[in-house]
Structure formats: C-alpha cells, structure tokens
Amino acid sequence: MSQPLLFSPLTIRGVTLRNRIVTAPMHQYASHQGFATDWHLVNVGRYAAGGCGLVMVESTKVERRGCGTVGDLGIWKDDFIPGLARIAAFIEAQNAVPAIQLGHSGRKARLTRPWEGQKPLTADHPEMFDWDGWDLIAPSAVPHSDRMPMPRALSRAEIPELVAHWGEAAARADKAGFEVLEIHGAHGYLVHQFLSPAANRRNDEYGGSDANRMRFALEVAECVRANWPAEKPLFMRLSCEDDAGWGPDQSVALAQELKAKGIDVIDCSSGGILERSPMDSVRARQYGYQVPYAEKIRQEAGMMTMAVGHIVHADQAEAILQQGRADLVALARELMYSPNWALDAAQKLGADPDFTSVPPAMGWWLGKRAKSAFEGVPSTYQRGVAAG
C-alpha cells in the first residue's frame, strides 16, 4: 500500500511536518495570571506524544486587554517566555512541530469561563489581576450581545500601537522556540470584529467598505510577518462564513491579499460574530462541515489551507487530502476524546505497522502488544473474554 497522504511529510518554507495531522488550538482557560501551567504542558504534550505532526498551543493573548477570561494565556511581556519555551521544547522532543496561535478577544473579553456561564466579570473576582489594565475595546462601541458588556471604540490613534503588539508577540513566540505561528482572525475575536460589518461601524479608513474592514487584518499580518523569521510558516485562521455579513467570497479576496503579505496557510473555520453561530446549527453536526471553505480558498486563492470541524475518522481525513480539498487537517475535540488519534489513524491506514511514529516508551510496548495478538498468542483482553 502506498503511503497515505495523511502521513506524508509537508514542507512549508523551512519547516517540514512529518504528517498532515494538526492539533487545533483549544482554549484551556487554565493559566495563572497569563502564565502557562503544568496543565498546558500535559495537555499539548499528550497530542505530540500521540503522533500529531503539528501541535498548536491555544490562542495566547498579545496584550492584557486581549484576554477573554481570567485563565487566558499571555505573551504580552517577556516574563511569559520561559513557561511557553518549556512547552515548545517538549513538543519538539516528541518529533512534532511546536506552533502557537496569537489572539486578542476585543469585545468578547472580561467574561467568566464557558462552563461558568460566560458572564461579565467584576474587579472582585478571586482570580482577578490588573483590572485597571483590562480595558474592553472593539472597532466600535457595539456589544457582542445584549448580555455582554459594552466595549469602548478604539480611537484611530490607538490602532498602530495595537498592531505593534502583535509583532512584539510574534518575536516572543520565536524566542520561545515555536516553529509555526497562527494569527487568530476568526470566531468573533478582535481581527474578525474589524472584518465584520455587524461589529465594525467605523467611518474612517478601517470601516465601511470590505477593503477598509480588511485593513486591520492585513496590517496585523504584515507586522507579524516582519517580526517572524522568514523561514518559519505563518498561518491565519478565518471565519470563512459568519452569517452576519461576511462570507466565503470575501474570505477568498482577503486570503489573496494575505498571501501577498506572507501568510502561508489559511485555517478555515466559521462563526463567532453572532451569539449563536453556524457552529451551533444542524450543519455543524455533519462530518467535515467546514471542509468546503478550505476547498474554495485553496482553489480560488491559490494557497494552502487547513480543514477543521468534525473531522473524526482516519479515512475521512485521508479523503479530504486525496481529493485536494485541503493540505492539512486539524482536530480539536476528537483529539481531546482520543489523544492518540494520530497513532490509531496510522494503524488503520497501514502507515506505521511498527509504531515508530510515537516515542519508544510507547511504541516498544505497543509493538509487543501487536506482535502477541498477531502471532496467535491471546492478548490480555482475549484471555479475559475466554475466561468469561
């Protein structure tokens, strides 16, 4: 059997991924005042050990104001670098490529964690720090929903400094040892807020027309690229459809301009501007429901894409790649449920019969397990069944 595409190497700029399986960035809400904790190390470490080629740390905030809740990771000062460097080094030690997503929550900030109801926070919260520095900002003074707090509209003079924070964060990510960087421009967070006519009501050069609303995203991309090594890949996540005035055709147009700014891969997601997004609908319960966005941008913008969203099975992921619909596949909740998904997929597709794609502390034992099963020696499970 020929090597499955899912387990074929992919080189982007100067970085080679050993396979096309990506751990999508997943908020953990587990930091301590922005600092990474052991939870972050263990969480991403298990995906790296489980065989993913690219492991991406969750949205890490470029400034204090960008935090969505009290548990968000930070990268707005050098003090955060050592904790993040420990994570990047562990990922790399498992033969995976360490990646990190940079983000800013904008108006979707100062809220409790999702399982705490995402209610507005107050200064007396037991985990609160630097309340006065946590200014709630957005392109316009328009709240995310009726139950969310009112943000302050950014002045024109504030925008260049805010863009610069993204570049400074990129430089810190490089110092921490990450090899791939992603800009979070989706899910109703700040970059997406500038893109959206529902959230962006500005009447200056950052609002109004599609071109004006794209300006902030393009400036962020340009600044990040200038502060991120030329040999390292740069991704950008977009909500290619948000059901609120932004759609796939606009995403193609933006992707084409982002490509010219040095973006290598578009991570194709959806939703987030409305309190109830496409991701909450019946459509989101269908396998690969966002893959058509990755396919469209790949074909029409002429650049690499990453598909994400209810990708569950190994043969499903392989088909996405074989059909030319995306260059990478990313998993999130499926990996949470099955951290060794990549290992399992390699077995199902016949890509790694000797378990060499995982650390030897796992692979050696799994090889013995497989050998005993295939050579007719009953496994522990089989003996248990036989014993009744």
CATH of the domain at 105: 3.20.20.70
CB 199 within 8 A of CB 107: yes
Instruction: Judge if 149 and 292 occupy the same domain.
Output: yes
Residue tagged 């630097």 (tokens): 130
Instruction: Judge if 352 and 367 occupy the same domain.
Output: no
| Closest to 148 (Cα-Cα) out of 10, 280, 307, 275 | 275
> How many domains does the chain fold into?
2
Query: How far apart are the C-alpha atoms of 380 and 179, rounded to whole Å?
Result: 41
Instruction: Judge if 341 and 370 occupy the same domain.
Output: no
Range of the domain at 46: 5-357
Query: How far apart are the C-alpha atoms of 291 and 270, rounded to whole Å?
Result: 11
pLDDT given for residue 387 in this prediction? 45
What are the backbone dihedrals phi and psi of residue 234, each rounded to the nearest 5 degrees, phi first? -130, 120
Instruction: Judge if 350 and 383 occupy the same domain.
Output: no
pLDDT given for residue 280 in this prediction? 58
Instruction: Judge if 374 and 241 occupy the same domain.
Output: no
pLDDT given for residue 247 in this prediction? 94
Instruction: Judge if 365 and 346 occupy the same domain.
Output: no
Instruction: Judge if 342 and 372 occupy the same domain.
Output: no
Instruction: Judge if 205 and 233 occupy the same domain.
Output: yes
Instruction: Judge if 240 and 371 occupy the same domain.
Output: no
Instruction: Judge if 332 and 368 occupy the same domain.
Output: no
Instruction: Judge if 382 and 327 occupy the same domain.
Output: no
Query: Could you give the residue numbers annotated as active site?
Result: 189
pLDDT given for residue 284 in this prediction? 60
User: Block means of pLDDT (10 residues each) for the chain, length 388 residues?
Assistant: 90 98 97 97 96 97 96 98 98 97 97 92 93 95 92 97 98 98 97 98 97 98 98 98 93 98 97 74 75 98 96 96 98 95 94 89 88 61 44
Instruction: Judge if 207 and 217 occupy the same domain.
Output: yes
pLDDT given for residue 371 in this prediction? 83
Q: Residue 213 has which token pair?
A: 């609303």
Q: Which amino acid is at 378?
A: P
pLDDT given for residue 367 in this prediction? 87
